[in-house]
Chain A
Amino acid sequence: MPAKELSPIQIYQLLPGTNCKECGETNCMAFAAKLVNREATLQECTPLLDPKYTDNYNKLWALLKPAVKAVEVGLGDNAITLGGEYVLYRHEFTYVNPTAIAIDVSDEMPDEEFEARIKVADGFEYLYIGMKLTLDMVAIRSSSNDPAKFEAAVRKAAGLTEKPLVLCALDPSVMEQGLAAVGDRRPLIYAATKDNWKEMADLALMYNCPLVASAPFDLNALKSIAMTLSEYGVKDIVLDPGTQWEDGVAATLDNFTILRWNSINEEEEYLGFPLMGAPIAAWAEKAEDPLINEWNEAVLSAALITRYSDIIVVHSVSGWALLPLVFLRQNLYTDPRKPVSVEAGVSTYGEPDEMSPVLLTTNFALTFYTVASDIESAKLDCYLVVVDSEGMSVESAVAGRKVTAESIAEALEEYKVGDLVKHRHLVIPGRSARLSGEIQELTGWKISVGPMDSSGIAKYLEEKWVPNPED
């Protein structure tokens, strides 16, 4: 049953009902609610593991398992999970495993380029509200179709990175050589087509690796391959319905949506596998300036991240093109039940004293975490007054009158900010500059207009913060 329709009662009825608390919950109903929210796993219910409950366990597993199978690529600490999704629209529950981004290298690339690309895949890192945004995988293509070259390239890549690998070759004899080199790292095999599926399936079984079924723009053939592979014994399958730029974008997104819809709403088992997108297809026609290809690929990647892709293969290694992608998938795979706002009040950073700066921001979660993360990474000692803006950013809150001189004055009063410091200096965000006069009038605090962006707080305080207690 689609995850969005599942109720705790349905789960509760199949639990042992002993209220034994071994799972850490006060009773079975509370545990059922946790299971429905996927905040607990069946294994935590120890009585249920008794063989007499085997039937119930199986029924529960069938109710709770994700509609899209979770497929692991790589091993141990370096493994990544593709798929494992429950819903079509993120507000119905949450998206679970963020779209994996695989960086392309080929077996005909000069060493220098090859190594530079893997370095990006490996070392890409951007700090965002206290999180590290990174890339996930390396895809090695056999553009030569030469088994020896492919093996050498695969071996080289494996030596350069611990990230999970995707081996891309449509000729099974080429793939076999690649697997001989890195088959023990559980790479993702790309791909089984209607022509080579049997040889590829044999390789996938022999090396116990996940396998992509590929049938560009032919959904019937794709399902046919996936079904046949399943029957053949390949369990970990990824589906590639084809990706194309320009004229093919509409059909590309249609296919991804049809597949995900059918796996979630129709519970179609053979379509319930992770989906692979290949924005690298945007390079099929080389533009005069490769920047155009990079741009198009980024745009296509973003569309595929929005429309259900569980893994994408991209060629560009430019930071400006990759950065929006890691942001987008982080955003869309955030739990939507997370509140928009944080609690208003005063936050303390470092070890502020009575002469430390007092800053101000709004309680929109993203605004607050951004400011907090900037203050923390600069290791500042200060107070941050968080005013209630009904969860809006500074700019929107000021424009929409959710934050006014009056509400700021009230906040200073309510949170007793005057008791924390001896001085009366308040630094307000650059985007609320227009309120400075009014606030000063209402509160008697000396208002300084801070930077437009909180990344400038450290520099601003260093240059401008010279409070005089006599002021």
Chain B
Amino acid sequence: MTEKKKETFPISFHLLEALAKFQEIELEDVELTFDELELRLSPGMVMGAPPSIPKPVAVKVKSLSLIDAEVGIPIQDYPGSVVEVRLGATKAEGGTRGRSIVIGGETAPAFYNFQVTLPHKPVIAMDVFDWPKVPLPKAVKMHFREVLEQPAEWARLCVEKFDAEMINVHFLTIDPLIEDAPPSAAVKIVDEVLQAVDVPLAIGGCGDPQKDLDVFTAIAEATAGERLLFGSVTLDMKIEETARIIKEHGHTVIAFTSMDVNKARELNRKLYDFLPKEDIIMDTTTAALGYGLDYAFTVMERCRLAALKGDPELNHPISSGSTNAWAAREAWMKMGPEWSPRELRGPIWETVTAQTLLLAGVDYFMMMHPASVKAVRTMIDSLMSGKKPSETSDWVSLKL
């Protein structure tokens, strides 16, 4: 065989790949040579496309030993970083909590341990509702049946039995379309929960902009100094008034927008007039696996990358209501035996939803199913450790 081309790698293969597109080139006559190796390539191999009926081709080779190589570890200096937000306050800090928790502070994307390990562990807060009639999936309800009527006991169960690091009390009864409960009733429940558990607390509203403001105001005043996390302030609320109350009484807030990077910027920008950055967490909306998780993931990932690149309006810890995973029918619906039991399908749905967003950069999770909380926490702990395995397992020979 005559030598038509003499190239050193890597160029030749790319060239051939490109040239292969031209019918004019006589591929049969191409031969590649290397310092230590002479090898004949079949036309099929050069084309890269498998022939329809491949036949074994004898290969004549000389010896070649492993070429030494090194993989560069991609280190990047990100000009921006995420602010740190402290949730809850101990006695020394002006509150009554057993401990306070700091989140945020990232200087690299989530769990890029090869660049830098996360300064603070993402936190999982468990949901508690003030309305016993809250529609909960069966797989979740079975764990809380005894405490549905008593938010304080519900919170205690989450902390003592399921090791919740924080509690979110969601006030649904205040909704004018549900019970229109007065702010004083909410204050009373918050007080009971603060008595029952000593972890930091978050407060969830009903979504009515005015009623939420009224209730947040009453709670904020009654719990001054506790650094509660209020969720949430939205673009259609009275932003100035809400922000002033948060600041005046020493609390923090979730700035909630609906899957839109620009709206997230806009809301943060409006809050900056009244609140220090260190009091703000942002939530760009969590959609369930299968029902918009892709949008939720990408908006969060974009926000975090923008923050690291120096965007001064997006550098906040991110919150995710991963409980929303249960909006997916696959999380709760009775399905055929091949998809059962739903008691596992539901919690794995919530787990995968939360874990995917964990990898996009979420710092604060609101979750519901105890198994999901445990699974995501295990994943967080494993990822935080950043360890290299001492020995590797061989899965090919596993006897399963």
Contact = CB atoms under 8 A, between A and B. Distances in A.
Interface string B275-295: 000000000010101111111
A407 interface: no
Interface in B175-195: 175, 177-178
A323 interface: yes
A370 B291 contact: yes
B245 to A, nearest CB: 21
Nearest to B9: A231
Contact of B112 (A228, A254, A265): A254
B349 interface: yes
B262 interface: no
B74 A320 contact: no
Interface in A219-237: 219-220, 222-228, 230-233, 235-236
Interface stretch (B58-66, B120-128, B143-151): B58-66
B69 A258 contact: no
Interface in A357-397: 364, 366-367, 370, 390-393, 395-396
B45 A224 contact: no
B1 interface: no
A441 B396 CA distance: 67
Contact of B58 (A142, A206, A291): A206
B56 A206 contact: yes
Interface stretch (B86-94, B221-229, B382-390): B382-390
A383 to B, nearest CB: 23
A75 B70 contact: no
B42 interface: yes
B77 to A, nearest CB: 14
B51 A208 contact: yes
Contacts of A98: none
Interface string A281-299: 1011000000100010011
B382 A208 contact: no
Interface in B1-44: 9-10, 13-15, 17-19, 21-22, 24, 32, 34, 37, 39, 41-42, 44
Contacts of A242: 389, 392
Nearest to B376: A299
Interface string B292-315: 111101100110010000000000
A225 B37 CA distance: 16
A197 B39 CA distance: 16
A232 B234 contact: no
Nearest to B10: A269
Contacts of A9: none
Interface size class of B (residues with CB under 8 A): 35 or more
A168 B400 CA distance: 15
A124 to B, nearest CB: 8
Given A206-B56, A227-B67, A391 B339 contact: no
Given A251-B388, A253-B383, A399-B207, A324 B258 contact: no
B389 A324 contact: no
A197 B66 CA distance: 9
Contacts of A269: 10
Interface stretch (B157-165, B266-274, B351-359): B351-359
B302 A91 contact: yes
Contacts of B294: 90, 331-332, 334, 336
Contact of B39 (A233, A398, A434): A233
A161 interface: no
A336 B58 CA distance: 46
Given A224-B69, A250-B382, A366-B287, A320 B355 contact: no
Contact of B375 (A42, A295, A330): A295
Interface in B333-372: 333, 338-342, 344-345, 348-349, 351-352, 355-356, 359
A428 B318 CA distance: 33
A413 B44 CA distance: 64
B24 to A, nearest CB: 6
A323 to B, nearest CB: 6
B339 A233 contact: no
B13 A250 contact: no
Contact of A72 (B49, B71, B302, B344): B49
A143 B397 contact: yes
B388 A455 contact: no
A159 interface: no
A321 B347 CA distance: 11
A224 B292 contact: no
Nearest to A104: B400
Nearest to A374: B329
B389 A247 contact: yes
By secondary structure, the B interface counts as loop
Contact of A143 (B50, B295, B351, B396): B396
B400 A106 contact: yes
Interface residues of A, number: 129
B134 interface: no
A450 interface: no
A217 B389 CA distance: 8
Nearest to A286: B400
A51 B19 CA distance: 10
Nearest to B289: A327
Contacts of A370: 291
A456 to B, nearest CB: 9
B39 to A, nearest CB: 5
B291 A366 contact: yes
Contacts of A302: 351-352, 355-356
Interface in A291-348: 291, 295, 298-299, 302-303, 306-307, 313, 315, 319-321, 323-325, 327-328, 330-332, 334, 336, 340
A422 interface: no
Contacts of A334: 294
B284 to A, nearest CB: 12
Given A306-B356, A453-B333, A75 B52 contact: yes
A76 interface: yes
B146 to A, nearest CB: 25
A51 B207 contact: no
Interface in B232-275: 234, 236, 258-259
Contact of A250 (B61, B113, B293): B113
B316 to A, nearest CB: 19
Contact of A328 (B64, B114, B302, B352): B352
Contacts of A265: 74
Nearest to B285: A396
B14 A62 contact: yes
With most chain A CB atoms within 10 A of its CB, the pick from B37, B73, B295, B345 is B295
A89 interface: yes
A86 interface: no
With most chain A CB atoms within 10 A of its CB, the pick from B34, B73, B393 is B393
Contacts of B293: 328, 331
Contacts of B397: 141-143, 145
B399 interface: yes
B52 A244 contact: no
A200 to B, nearest CB: 12
Contacts of A208: 42, 44-45, 50-51, 54, 57
A283 B398 contact: yes
Contacts of A143: 396-400
A434 B177 contact: yes
6 contacts: A54-B22, A58-B19, A75-B50, A257-B114, A303-B379, A367-B291
| Chain A to chain B: the 5 pairs with minimum beta-carbon distance, closest first | A248-B389, A399-B207, A284-B393, A223-B69, A319-B339
Given A57-B18, A65-B17, 9 more contacts: A65-B14, A72-B49, A206-B56, A254-B114, A295-B348, A320-B348, A370-B291, A391-B259, A392-B259
